[in-house]
Amino acid sequence: MRIKITVVRRLNRDEIFRDTDPGCSSTSPPVCPLFHEGQTFLADMKSVPEGFCPGAYADLFRYICGLEAGADYEWVREKGMVLAACNDGFRPVIFRLERVEHP
């Protein structure tokens, strides 16, 4: 069994901090440059998918483990799926994780 990770949304720092200076470098892009909406990855508990941000993978790992072990989350209507975000406070990314059968 594998976990399909889909990039749902990249949040824009300029929208999050409209009237506040978050204190990040001016050379830092306002959205995460590593992902784009609709991008997909297959994950398991063994390794970080190629091209996936290691920090984001660490943030999602507990859900990857849970889904791979058969967990369903009571606050999610669809079984075998959860939404989760990386913890980058300047430009977070929201991901859809879903359990899939994979040969």
- Per residue in 61-80, pLDDT (tens digit) is 999 999 999 999 999 999 99
What is the C-alpha to C-alpha distance for residues 26 and 23, in angstroms, rounded to an integer? Answer: 9
pLDDT for 103? 56
- Per residue in 4-45, pLDDT (tens digit) is 999 999 998 888 787 777 777 667 788 999 999 999 999 988
Q: Where are the beta strands (DSSP E) in 21-91?
A: 40-43, 81-85
What is the C-alpha to C-alpha distance for residues 85 and 10, in angstroms, rounded to an integer? Answer: 10
pLDDT for 12? 87
Of the CA atoms within 13 Å of residue 25, those in its CB half-sphere come to 3
pLDDT for 20? 78
Structural domain span for residue 28:
2-100
What is the C-alpha to C-alpha distance for residues 41 and 23, in angstroms, rounded to an integer? Answer: 31
* Residues 6 or more apart whose Cβ sits within 8 Å of residue 88: 32, 55, 56
Task: Name the band, by pLDDT with cuts 50, 70 and 90, for residue 102.
Answer: low
How many structural domains are present in the chain? Answer: 1
